[in-house]
Protein backbone atom coordinates (compact mmCIF):
# COMPACT_ATOMS: atom_id res chain seq x y z
CA UNK A 1 0.00 0.00 0.00
CA UNK A 2 1.10 3.58 -0.63
CA UNK A 3 1.85 4.92 2.86
CA UNK A 4 3.44 8.23 1.94
CA UNK A 5 3.94 10.60 -0.93
CA UNK A 6 0.46 12.11 -1.12
CA UNK A 7 1.39 15.00 1.17
CA UNK A 8 4.40 15.85 -0.90
CA UNK A 9 2.32 15.74 -4.07
CA UNK A 10 -0.15 18.15 -2.56
CA UNK A 11 2.01 20.55 -0.57
CA UNK A 12 5.40 20.13 -2.27
CA UNK A 13 7.10 19.37 1.05
CA UNK A 14 7.61 16.32 3.25
CA UNK A 15 5.21 15.85 6.19
CA UNK A 16 6.54 15.63 9.73
CA UNK A 17 4.36 12.69 10.80
CA UNK A 18 2.67 9.72 9.14
CA UNK A 19 -0.04 7.86 11.06
CA UNK A 20 -1.33 4.56 9.71
CA UNK A 21 -4.46 2.91 11.14
CA UNK A 22 -5.96 -0.40 9.97
CA UNK A 23 -9.65 -1.15 9.53
CA UNK A 24 -11.25 -4.11 11.26
CA UNK A 25 -13.66 -6.95 10.73
CA UNK A 26 -15.44 -8.53 13.64
CA UNK A 27 -15.40 -12.33 13.55
CA UNK A 28 -18.07 -12.74 16.22
CA UNK A 29 -19.62 -10.87 19.14
CA UNK A 30 -21.82 -8.38 17.28
CA UNK A 31 -23.79 -5.65 19.01
CA UNK A 32 -22.64 -6.76 22.43
CA UNK A 33 -19.62 -4.48 22.94
CA UNK A 34 -21.96 -1.84 24.37
CA UNK A 35 -23.46 -4.52 26.62
CA UNK A 36 -20.22 -5.24 28.50
CA UNK A 37 -19.65 -8.33 26.36
CA UNK A 38 -16.65 -10.16 24.92
CA UNK A 39 -16.09 -9.62 21.19
CA UNK A 40 -13.59 -11.00 18.66
CA UNK A 41 -12.46 -8.49 16.02
CA UNK A 42 -9.39 -8.58 13.76
CA UNK A 43 -7.39 -5.57 12.49
CA UNK A 44 -7.11 -6.05 8.72
CA UNK A 45 -4.56 -5.21 6.09
CA UNK A 46 -6.45 -2.18 4.73
CA UNK A 47 -5.33 1.15 6.15
CA UNK A 48 -6.21 4.77 6.52
CA UNK A 49 -3.18 7.04 6.36
CA UNK A 50 -2.73 10.62 7.57
CA UNK A 51 0.39 12.53 6.57
CA UNK A 52 0.62 15.79 8.52
CA UNK A 53 2.68 18.79 9.63
CA UNK A 54 1.94 21.60 12.08
CA UNK A 55 0.85 24.97 10.61
CA UNK A 56 2.16 28.30 11.80
CA UNK A 57 -1.15 30.18 11.80
CA UNK A 58 -2.98 27.64 14.00
CA UNK A 59 -5.39 26.66 11.20
CA UNK A 60 -6.34 23.07 10.38
CA UNK A 61 -6.29 22.01 6.75
CA UNK A 62 -7.70 18.61 5.87
CA UNK A 63 -7.22 17.20 2.39
CA UNK A 64 -8.88 13.83 1.69
CA UNK A 65 -7.44 12.10 -1.38
CA UNK A 66 -9.64 9.29 -2.71
CA UNK A 67 -10.41 8.35 0.89
CA UNK A 68 -14.20 8.27 0.50
CA UNK A 69 -14.69 11.33 2.70
CA UNK A 70 -15.62 14.87 1.71
CA UNK A 71 -13.69 17.75 0.20
CA UNK A 72 -10.65 19.65 1.32
CA UNK A 73 -11.32 22.17 4.02
CA UNK A 74 -9.61 24.83 6.17
CA UNK A 75 -10.79 25.34 9.72
CA UNK A 76 -9.80 28.02 12.22
CA UNK A 77 -8.60 27.16 15.72
CA UNK A 78 -11.89 28.54 17.13
CA UNK A 79 -14.04 26.54 14.73
CA UNK A 80 -13.65 23.15 16.41
CA UNK A 81 -17.28 22.19 17.00
CA UNK A 82 -19.56 19.38 15.70
CA UNK A 83 -20.78 19.62 12.12
CA UNK A 84 -24.40 18.71 11.33
CA UNK A 85 -24.45 19.23 7.53
CA UNK A 86 -24.27 15.95 5.65
CA UNK A 87 -21.30 16.88 3.45
CA UNK A 88 -19.33 18.08 6.48
CA UNK A 89 -20.07 15.23 8.86
CA UNK A 90 -16.84 13.37 8.14
CA UNK A 91 -15.00 16.26 9.83
CA UNK A 92 -16.50 15.25 13.15
CA UNK A 93 -14.08 12.34 13.43
CA UNK A 94 -11.12 14.72 13.25
CA UNK A 95 -12.65 17.63 15.17
CA UNK A 96 -14.01 15.42 17.94
CA UNK A 97 -10.54 14.01 18.56
CA UNK A 98 -8.93 17.48 18.54
CA UNK A 99 -11.57 18.59 21.06
CA UNK A 100 -10.85 15.49 23.15
CA UNK A 101 -7.15 16.29 23.54
CA UNK A 102 -7.91 19.96 24.17
CA UNK A 103 -10.34 18.83 26.86
CA UNK A 104 -7.46 17.01 28.54
CA UNK A 105 -5.41 20.20 28.61
CA UNK A 106 -3.22 19.43 25.56
CA UNK A 107 -2.46 22.43 23.36
CA UNK A 108 -3.20 20.98 19.95
CA UNK A 109 -1.39 22.95 17.23
CA UNK A 110 -3.04 23.63 13.89
CA UNK A 111 -1.98 21.04 11.35
CA UNK A 112 -2.22 20.24 7.69
CA UNK A 113 -3.28 16.67 6.95
CA UNK A 114 -3.56 14.68 3.77
CA UNK A 115 -5.87 11.72 4.35
CA UNK A 116 -5.69 8.70 2.07
CA UNK A 117 -5.30 4.92 2.11
CA UNK A 118 -6.89 1.73 0.84
CA UNK A 119 -9.50 1.27 3.58
CA UNK A 120 -12.95 1.88 2.05
CA UNK A 121 -15.21 4.28 3.98
CA UNK A 122 -18.85 3.38 4.69
CA UNK A 123 -18.23 -0.35 4.19
CA UNK A 124 -18.63 -1.35 7.84
CA UNK A 125 -14.86 -1.78 8.23
CA UNK A 126 -14.36 0.98 10.84
CA UNK A 127 -12.95 3.69 8.61
CA UNK A 128 -14.31 6.18 11.14
CA UNK A 129 -12.45 4.57 14.06
CA UNK A 130 -9.31 4.44 11.87
CA UNK A 131 -9.67 8.15 11.06
CA UNK A 132 -10.14 9.00 14.74
CA UNK A 133 -7.19 6.87 15.82
CA UNK A 134 -4.86 8.21 13.12
CA UNK A 135 -5.87 11.78 14.11
CA UNK A 136 -5.11 10.95 17.74
CA UNK A 137 -1.66 9.61 16.81
CA UNK A 138 -0.89 12.70 14.74
CA UNK A 139 -1.78 14.91 17.71
CA UNK A 140 0.26 12.81 20.13
CA UNK A 141 3.27 12.86 17.81
CA UNK A 142 3.08 16.61 17.22
CA UNK A 143 2.62 17.45 20.91
CA UNK A 144 4.61 14.73 22.65
CA UNK A 145 1.50 13.71 24.62
CA UNK A 146 1.27 9.95 25.09
CA UNK A 147 -1.74 7.76 25.74
CA UNK A 148 -2.15 4.02 26.21
CA UNK A 149 -4.08 2.10 23.56
CA UNK A 150 -7.10 1.98 25.93
CA UNK A 151 -6.97 5.67 26.82
CA UNK A 152 -6.73 6.59 23.15
CA UNK A 153 -9.60 4.26 22.24
CA UNK A 154 -11.80 5.84 24.92
CA UNK A 155 -10.96 9.35 23.72
CA UNK A 156 -11.81 8.37 20.13
CA UNK A 157 -15.04 6.69 21.23
CA UNK A 158 -16.01 9.93 22.98
CA UNK A 159 -15.39 11.85 19.74
CA UNK A 160 -17.76 9.46 17.98
CA UNK A 161 -20.40 9.94 20.70
CA UNK A 162 -20.12 13.71 21.13
CA UNK A 163 -19.24 14.82 17.61
CA UNK A 164 -20.45 12.13 15.20
CA UNK A 165 -23.54 11.43 17.32
CA UNK A 166 -23.17 7.63 17.20
CA UNK A 167 -23.45 5.96 20.64
CA UNK A 168 -21.00 3.23 19.61
CA UNK A 169 -19.30 0.69 21.86
CA UNK A 170 -15.53 0.42 22.25
CA UNK A 171 -14.81 -2.50 19.89
CA UNK A 172 -13.77 -0.60 16.76
CA UNK A 173 -11.41 1.87 18.41
CA UNK A 174 -9.78 -0.88 20.49
CA UNK A 175 -9.42 -3.25 17.53
CA UNK A 176 -7.84 -0.53 15.38
CA UNK A 177 -5.41 0.29 18.18
CA UNK A 178 -4.60 -3.14 19.60
CA UNK A 179 -4.44 -5.33 16.45
CA UNK A 180 -1.90 -8.20 16.42
CA UNK A 181 -0.49 -9.74 13.25
CA UNK A 182 -1.92 -13.22 12.66
CA UNK A 183 -4.36 -12.94 15.57
CA UNK A 184 -7.94 -12.18 16.43
CA UNK A 185 -8.44 -10.06 19.57
CA UNK A 186 -10.66 -11.27 22.35
CA UNK A 187 -11.76 -7.98 23.89
CA UNK A 188 -13.45 -7.82 27.23
CA UNK A 189 -15.57 -4.70 26.81
CA UNK A 190 -16.17 -4.46 30.55
CA UNK A 191 -12.55 -4.04 31.69
CA UNK A 192 -11.01 -3.37 28.23
CA UNK A 193 -8.49 -6.18 28.58
CA UNK A 194 -7.32 -7.90 25.39
CA UNK A 195 -6.18 -11.43 24.61
CA UNK A 196 -4.68 -12.36 21.24
CA UNK A 197 -6.03 -15.57 19.77
CA UNK A 198 -3.89 -16.89 16.88
CA UNK A 199 -5.73 -17.58 13.63
CA UNK A 200 -4.85 -20.79 11.76
CA UNK A 201 -2.17 -20.03 9.19
CA UNK A 202 -3.98 -21.88 6.44
CA UNK A 203 -7.07 -19.65 6.71
CA UNK A 204 -7.57 -16.19 5.21
CA UNK A 205 -10.29 -13.60 5.65
CA UNK A 206 -12.44 -12.66 2.66
CA UNK A 207 -14.39 -9.41 2.90
CA UNK A 208 -17.29 -8.60 0.57
CA UNK A 209 -18.79 -5.12 0.59
CA UNK A 210 -22.47 -5.01 -0.37
CA UNK A 211 -22.10 -1.37 -1.41
CA UNK A 212 -25.17 -0.62 0.68
CA UNK A 213 -24.08 2.38 2.73
CA UNK A 214 -24.89 2.07 6.36
CA UNK A 215 -25.50 5.19 8.41
CA UNK A 216 -25.31 4.23 12.05
CA UNK A 217 -26.07 7.82 12.94
CA UNK A 218 -29.57 7.46 11.53
CA UNK A 219 -31.11 6.14 14.72
CA UNK A 220 -31.45 2.36 14.30
CA UNK A 221 -28.19 1.70 16.16
CA UNK A 222 -29.26 3.91 19.06
CA UNK A 223 -32.66 2.20 19.05
CA UNK A 224 -31.01 -1.24 19.41
CA UNK A 225 -29.07 0.00 22.44
CA UNK A 226 -32.23 1.39 24.01
CA UNK A 227 -34.14 -1.82 23.36
CA UNK A 228 -31.38 -3.85 25.02
CA UNK A 229 -31.48 -1.57 28.06
CA UNK A 230 -35.26 -1.88 28.24
CA UNK A 231 -34.98 -5.68 28.00
CA UNK A 232 -32.40 -5.74 30.80
CA UNK A 233 -34.62 -3.57 32.98
CA UNK A 234 -37.57 -5.89 32.33
CA UNK A 235 -35.48 -8.92 33.25
CA UNK A 236 -34.17 -7.13 36.35
CA UNK A 237 -30.61 -7.96 35.30
CA UNK A 238 -27.53 -5.74 35.40
CA UNK A 239 -25.92 -7.20 32.28
CA UNK A 240 -26.47 -9.82 29.55
CA UNK A 241 -22.88 -10.90 29.85
CA UNK A 242 -23.38 -13.61 32.44
CA UNK A 243 -27.13 -13.94 32.16
CA UNK A 244 -28.45 -17.50 31.91
CA UNK A 245 -30.30 -17.82 28.55
CA UNK A 246 -32.90 -19.91 30.41
CA UNK A 247 -33.97 -16.76 32.28
CA UNK A 248 -34.63 -15.00 28.98
CA UNK A 249 -36.62 -18.02 27.76
CA UNK A 250 -38.60 -18.11 30.99
CA UNK A 251 -39.62 -14.46 30.49
CA UNK A 252 -40.70 -14.96 26.87
CA UNK A 253 -44.44 -15.10 27.46
CA UNK A 254 -44.41 -11.98 29.62
CA UNK A 255 -42.11 -9.90 27.48
CA UNK A 256 -42.66 -7.71 24.46
CA UNK A 257 -41.59 -9.89 21.50
CA UNK A 258 -39.09 -7.39 20.07
CA UNK A 259 -37.39 -6.96 23.44
CA UNK A 260 -37.36 -10.73 23.92
CA UNK A 261 -35.59 -11.22 20.57
CA UNK A 262 -33.05 -8.48 21.29
CA UNK A 263 -32.30 -10.16 24.63
CA UNK A 264 -32.06 -13.58 23.00
CA UNK A 265 -29.50 -12.24 20.53
CA UNK A 266 -27.44 -10.69 23.34
CA UNK A 267 -27.23 -13.84 25.45
CA UNK A 268 -26.78 -16.33 22.61
CA UNK A 269 -24.20 -14.15 20.86
CA UNK A 270 -22.12 -14.09 24.03
CA UNK A 271 -22.23 -17.88 24.17
CA UNK A 272 -21.21 -18.08 20.51
CA UNK A 273 -18.12 -15.94 21.17
CA UNK A 274 -16.92 -18.39 23.81
CA UNK A 275 -17.78 -21.41 21.65
CA UNK A 276 -16.01 -19.85 18.67
CA UNK A 277 -12.86 -19.03 20.64
CA UNK A 278 -12.79 -22.60 22.00
CA UNK A 279 -13.18 -24.01 18.48
CA UNK A 280 -10.54 -21.64 17.11
CA UNK A 281 -8.10 -22.75 19.77
CA UNK A 282 -8.71 -26.44 19.10
CA UNK A 283 -8.90 -26.07 15.30
CA UNK A 284 -12.54 -27.22 15.11
CA UNK A 285 -13.51 -25.58 11.82
CA UNK A 286 -16.97 -27.10 11.77
CA UNK A 287 -17.97 -25.50 15.07
CA UNK A 288 -16.44 -22.20 13.98
CA UNK A 289 -18.56 -22.27 10.83
CA UNK A 290 -21.69 -23.13 12.78
CA UNK A 291 -21.14 -20.23 15.21
CA UNK A 292 -20.74 -17.79 12.32
CA UNK A 293 -23.85 -19.10 10.61
CA UNK A 294 -25.97 -18.97 13.77
CA UNK A 295 -24.54 -15.56 14.61
CA UNK A 296 -25.72 -14.21 11.28
CA UNK A 297 -29.18 -15.76 11.65
CA UNK A 298 -29.48 -14.15 15.07
CA UNK A 299 -28.50 -10.72 13.72
CA UNK A 300 -30.94 -11.17 10.87
CA UNK A 301 -33.99 -12.42 12.73
CA UNK A 302 -33.55 -11.46 16.38
CA UNK A 303 -31.56 -8.25 16.20
CA UNK A 304 -32.84 -7.19 12.74
CA UNK A 305 -29.73 -5.38 11.57
CA UNK A 306 -29.08 -7.33 8.34
CA UNK A 307 -30.35 -6.63 4.81
CA UNK A 308 -31.11 -8.66 1.66
CA UNK A 309 -27.63 -8.05 0.19
CA UNK A 310 -25.85 -9.27 3.34
CA UNK A 311 -28.14 -12.30 3.58
CA UNK A 312 -27.48 -13.08 -0.11
CA UNK A 313 -23.70 -13.05 0.46
CA UNK A 314 -24.00 -15.27 3.54
CA UNK A 315 -26.12 -17.80 1.67
CA UNK A 316 -23.67 -17.73 -1.25
CA UNK A 317 -20.81 -18.30 1.20
CA UNK A 318 -22.30 -21.49 2.64
CA UNK A 319 -23.33 -22.69 -0.83
CA UNK A 320 -19.60 -22.76 -1.75
CA UNK A 321 -19.28 -25.68 0.66
CA UNK A 322 -16.99 -26.72 3.51
CA UNK A 323 -15.59 -29.48 1.27
CA UNK A 324 -14.31 -26.73 -1.06
CA UNK A 325 -12.60 -24.79 1.70
CA UNK A 326 -15.31 -22.52 3.14
CA UNK A 327 -15.40 -22.27 6.94
CA UNK A 328 -18.00 -19.60 7.66
CA UNK A 329 -19.57 -16.27 6.66
CA UNK A 330 -21.54 -13.61 8.47
CA UNK A 331 -22.28 -9.91 8.33
CA UNK A 332 -19.69 -7.88 10.21
CA UNK A 333 -19.97 -4.59 12.13
CA UNK A 334 -23.07 -2.54 12.81
CA UNK A 335 -25.07 -3.86 9.84
CA UNK A 336 -27.86 -2.24 7.76
CA UNK A 337 -25.48 -2.71 4.80
CA UNK A 338 -21.71 -2.80 4.89
CA UNK A 339 -19.72 -6.00 4.53
CA UNK A 340 -19.62 -9.71 5.22
CA UNK A 341 -16.60 -11.54 6.61
CA UNK A 342 -15.73 -15.09 5.57
CA UNK A 343 -13.06 -17.49 6.79
CA UNK A 344 -11.76 -19.61 3.94
CA UNK A 345 -8.85 -21.96 3.31
CA UNK A 346 -6.00 -20.05 1.73
CA UNK A 347 -5.88 -22.13 -1.46
CA UNK A 348 -9.63 -21.69 -2.04
CA UNK A 349 -9.70 -17.92 -1.44
CA UNK A 350 -9.56 -16.74 -5.06
CA UNK A 351 -12.25 -19.10 -6.31
CA UNK A 352 -14.40 -18.35 -3.25
CA UNK A 353 -14.14 -14.65 -3.96
CA UNK A 354 -15.14 -15.14 -7.61
CA UNK A 355 -18.05 -17.33 -6.48
CA UNK A 356 -19.33 -14.63 -4.08
CA UNK A 357 -19.11 -11.96 -6.75
CA UNK A 358 -20.96 -14.06 -9.32
CA UNK A 359 -23.71 -15.18 -6.94
CA UNK A 360 -24.24 -11.61 -5.78
CA UNK A 361 -24.27 -10.27 -9.35
CA UNK A 362 -26.89 -12.82 -10.42
CA UNK A 363 -29.13 -11.67 -7.56
CA UNK A 364 -28.53 -7.92 -7.43
CA UNK A 365 -27.27 -7.10 -10.91
CA UNK A 366 -23.97 -5.54 -9.81
CA UNK A 367 -20.71 -6.85 -8.43
CA UNK A 368 -19.72 -6.40 -4.79
CA UNK A 369 -16.19 -5.22 -3.97
CA UNK A 370 -14.35 -8.18 -2.45
CA UNK A 371 -10.83 -8.64 -1.13
CA UNK A 372 -8.68 -11.21 0.64
CA UNK A 373 -6.95 -10.03 3.78
CA UNK A 374 -5.12 -11.08 6.95
CA UNK A 375 -4.75 -9.94 10.55
CA UNK A 376 -2.26 -7.10 11.07
CA UNK A 377 -0.78 -4.91 13.82
CA UNK A 378 -2.71 -1.95 15.20
CA UNK A 379 -2.29 1.74 14.41
CA UNK A 380 1.15 3.37 14.50
CA UNK A 381 2.67 6.80 13.89
CA UNK A 382 6.08 7.67 12.56
CA UNK A 383 7.86 10.95 13.27
CA UNK A 384 9.89 11.91 10.21
Binding site for ligand GLA (CB under 6 A): 26, 30-31, 33-34, 168-169, 171-172, 333-334
Q: Which is nearer to ligand GLA, 52 or 273 (CB)?
A: 273
Residues 6+ apart with CB under 8 A from 221: 166, 167, 168, 334
Instruction: Give the shortest CB-13-to-ligand GLA separation in angstroms.
Output: 35
In whole angstroms, how far apart are CA 204 and each of 20, 120, 342, 349, 358?
22, 19, 8, 7, 20
Instruction: Give the shortest CB-78-to-ligand GLA separation in angstroms.
Output: 30
Angstrom distance (rounded) from CA 255 to CA 261 = 10
Rounding to the nearest 10 degrees, give the CA dihedral for residues 40, 43, 48, 52: 100
Instruction: Give the shortest CB-219-to-ligand GLA separation in angstroms.
Output: 14
Helices (H) and strands (E) in the chain, counts: 11, 12
Sign of CA dihedral 219, 220, 223, 228: negative
Residues belonging to the active site? 172
Angstrom distance (rounded) from CA 157 to CA 100 = 10
- Tally of CB atoms within 10 A around 217: 17
Burial of 364 (0-12, 13-18, 19+ CB in 10 A): middle
Residues 6+ apart with CB under 8 A from 269: 28, 29, 30, 31, 32, 37, 295, 298
Angstrom distance (rounded) from CA 262 to CA 231 = 8
What is the full DSSP assignment across 182-224? TEEEEEETTTTEEEEEEPPTTEEEEEEE--PPP-GGGSHHHHH
Amino acid sequence: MNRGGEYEKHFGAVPSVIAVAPGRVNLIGEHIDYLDGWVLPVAIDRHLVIEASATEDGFFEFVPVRAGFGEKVRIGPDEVFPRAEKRERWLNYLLGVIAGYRGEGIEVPGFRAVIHGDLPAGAGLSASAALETATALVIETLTGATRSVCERALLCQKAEHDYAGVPCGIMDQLAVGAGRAGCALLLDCRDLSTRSVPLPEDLVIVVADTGVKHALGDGEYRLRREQCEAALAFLGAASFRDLDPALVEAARGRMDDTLYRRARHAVTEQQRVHAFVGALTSGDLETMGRCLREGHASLRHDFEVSCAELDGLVEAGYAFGAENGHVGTRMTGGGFGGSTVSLVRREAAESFRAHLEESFASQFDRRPATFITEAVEGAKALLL
